[in-house]
Amino acid sequence: MDTLEKAPPVKRDRPWLIRTYSGHSSARASNALYRTNLARGQTGLSVAFDLPTQTGYDADHQLARGEVGKVGVPICSIEDMEALFEGIPLEQMNTSMTINATAPWLLSLYIAVAEKQGADISALQGTVQNDIIKEYLSRGTYIFPPQPSVKLATDVITYTVRNIPKWNPTNICSYHLQEAGATPVQEMAYALSTAVTILDSIRDSGEIAAEDFADVVGRISFFVNAGIRFVEECCKMRGFVEMWDRIAEQRYGVTDAKLRRFRYGVQVNSLGLTESQAENNIQRIVLEMLGVVLSKTARARAIQLPAWNEALGLPRPWDQQWSLRIQQVMALETDLLEYGDLLDGSPVIAAKVKALCEGAEAEMARVAEHGGMVRAIESGYVKRELVASQTARMRAIESGELKIVGVNCYTDSADSPLTSASDGGIMKVDPAAEREQIERLTAFRARRDPEAVKQALEALTAAARSGANVMPASIACAHAGVTTGEWAGALRAIFGEYRAPTGIDGVVATRSDSARIQALRERTRNTGEQLGRPLRLLVGKPGLDGHSNGAEQVAVKARDAGFEVVYEGIRLTPHQLATAALEEGVHLIGLSVLSGSHAELVTEIRKELDELGLSRVPVIIGGIIPEADAVALKAAGIAAVYTPKDVDLNRIMSELVDIIRNANGLDPYEAAA
């Protein structure tokens, strides 16, 4: 019998970098999680920082109360950074850090730790997001006005190009633009306009010689979103590749094709994850991943997948492992990496790519007419466009035009065993984590050399005032024992702080002729007449949570329903919100908290309201709030709790009218038909 010849080995492309986005509670707890994930086959780290770290506050600051360790790891000093990477050789690791306003500082801490490990700094590999421009449009973790913020971002880029050549010094992040409502055309246009703004700033600064500028262009990377319409997402990515190649060649004169590559990482769409029938999120995540891996010429270089239960709360280690295994099965078990580009030559794909590129180029031209991305942010143009797009999306979900399985269709479901466990299917941060972090911070301050800290901060201040690159002084601050709050505080004293436009004033609500919305407006008007003036709603974003999409949509819808709306944007203290409620004479306060700090913030706000004699003003809250917490909040006097499953804004508005009526001794209306 003839021996069968062995088939030649199949040549496979190397898989993308496999990450999970994680960090919580404390540096030591996060370190244990990182080492576990690396042992399970993760090939890079992606660090999530808590909100105080992202916005430049120490753990004991008033605004940090209730926020420490909730959405990421708290980093107050070099001691925390050392604990975070204990046992992980940084010279051998590829680390991504999602950090923006404080990116120069967190990178400085990372470099300082690497130096203490004895690493060759020029060999470090990784990424800092360092895309401050989109923070004014979506996540809200900006600190300073746009112009000095762009200068700090370019400081990071020019420093790393010279000293850490393998580092990606900015990750232009369209991910959060899509989360804020951007269409594929808007996502492409605003991300590429942001990249142009940053590169123009570096070129015009004169800090990089003309002959070296192509290397700067080559280090620009992107971080994108991928939604459930995975065919369109595939086309979007191919469009990004084409447009970036043209921009790099035609605008910046880059002749080396390798330096014109559109290098990007991705996290698939968290906006599309649902609280209702959360198990459906698994297939959503897999399908969304196809959008960034099918096309070889536009394939992601690094991927991190959300966990199935992120609309419920903080994922557990097992949930993150599930997302990790999805990537590993796609990369190792399927034959995807054995072929060239599967979409080349398709006229359908080519036509869609062409349409997306033409739309994006037209929107980029409109941004340029407004004076570029910074001016378009300061004027409120881009924010208004995003709020309008998100409003259109919410209206489509409400009407059923946009179908979401388990949310507005096929809503009947058996009980899920995934969420029936005693932990509710999520991880909860130990309430002691904040107190313990403050204790560590206090002890660290007591041990350090105060004179060294003083001199380091003086050098940082001098660099910032003179316009010099702040990175060398920031690295010296890290070694001297300066804290996150002190670093940011020194720069706040120079640059000031900033409040971005909310975007809701320019959105004209589309008035529906449906009987339901007309009845709702009539009830709002009648109730106002009975109380002697129009109903007034205060929409508030307390604490450091800057994800304002939900608050903006509630504000827009409330105006459409006949309310007068007071909305002053993000990052307000409980005292500021209570004072606004008093000064504006509101009938109802609606809070939006997505960071998990709802219990602490509600307690503080109720205390402030009581002190101002406003204890009878009803308070509602919306956010990612576990059922057990919702029960506790209602028991504490909160009139209603809304979570991501509550997408019918007409119903919510009707309930708000009844809450106001009940608080003022009026009989409630029947539920709107």
pLDDT per residue over 643-667, tens digit each? Answer: 988 989 999 999 999 999 999 999 9
Task: Report the 10 Å Cβ neighbour count for 595.
Answer: 21
Q: What are phi and psi of 316, to 5 degrees?
A: -85, 165
Could you report the per-residue pLDDT of 273-303, keeping only the tens digit for each? 999 999 999 999 999 999 999 999 999 999 9
CA distance 668 to 566: 24
Could you report the per-residue pLDDT of 528-572, keeping only the tens digit for each? 999 999 999 999 999 898 888 889 999 999 999 999 999 988 888
**Burial degree of 87 (CB within 10 A; 0-12, 13-18, 19+):** exposed
Q: Which pLDDT belongs to residue 427?
A: 78
Which residue would you say has higher pLDDT here, 503 or 340? 340
Could you report the per-residue pLDDT of 439-481, keeping only the tens digit for each? 999 999 999 999 999 999 999 999 999 999 999 999 999 999 9
Could you report the per-residue pLDDT of 391-416, keeping only the tens digit for each? 899 889 988 999 999 999 999 999 88
Domains of the chain (ranges plus CATH)? 2-8+97-110+121-139+146-334+342-399 (3.20.20.240), 511-663 (3.40.50.280)
Give the pLDDT band (50/70/90) at residue 430. confident
Q: Which pLDDT belongs to residue 183?
A: 96
CA distance 533 to 587: 10
Q: Tell me the average pLDDT across 47-54.
A: 95
Asked if pLDDT for residue 19 goes beyond 90, the answer is no
CA distance 517 to 514: 6
CA distance 490 to 350: 51
Q: What percent of the chain has pLDDT over 90?
A: 79
Which residue would you say has higher pLDDT here, 520 or 2? 520
Asked if pLDDT for residue 506 goes beyond 70, the answer is no
CA distance 129 to 107: 10
Which residue intervals of 561-620 are DSSP H helices? 574-584, 598-611
Q: Which pLDDT belongs to residue 499?
A: 86
Q: 211: which residues sit within 8 A by CB, 6+ positions away?
A: none
Give 422-439 as a DSSP string: TTTTSB---THHHHHHHH
Q: Which pLDDT belongs to residue 673?
A: 38
Catalytic residue positions, numbered: 21, 175-176, 541, 545, 547
Among 37-46, 114-123, 499-508, which stretch is predicted with the lowest mean pLDDT?
499-508
CA distance 588 to 611: 17
Which of 16-20, 311-315, 435-439, 592-596 shows the highest mean pLDDT? 435-439
Q: Which pLDDT belongs to residue 177?
A: 93
Give the pLDDT band (50/70/90) at residue 5. low
- Which residue from 509, 575, 506, 505 is spatially nearest to 540, judged by alpha carbons? 575
Q: Tell me the average pLDDT across 232-247.
A: 98
Q: Tell me the average pLDDT across 123-131.
A: 95
**Token representation of residue 248:** 């790099």
CA distance 616 to 418: 39
Which residue would you say has higher pLDDT here, 491 or 503? 491
Asked if pLDDT for residue 243 goes beyond 60, the answer is yes
Asked if pLDDT for residue 421 goes beyond 80, the answer is no
Give the pLDDT band (50/70/90) at residue 671. very low
Residues pairing with 405 in the sheet = 409
CA distance 267 to 289: 8
Asked if pLDDT for residue 339 goes beyond 50, the answer is yes
Q: Which pLDDT belongs to residue 395?
A: 87
Q: Which pLDDT belongs to residue 1?
A: 44
Task: Enter the DSSP assignment of 112.
Answer: H
Longest dimension (CA), the chain: 99
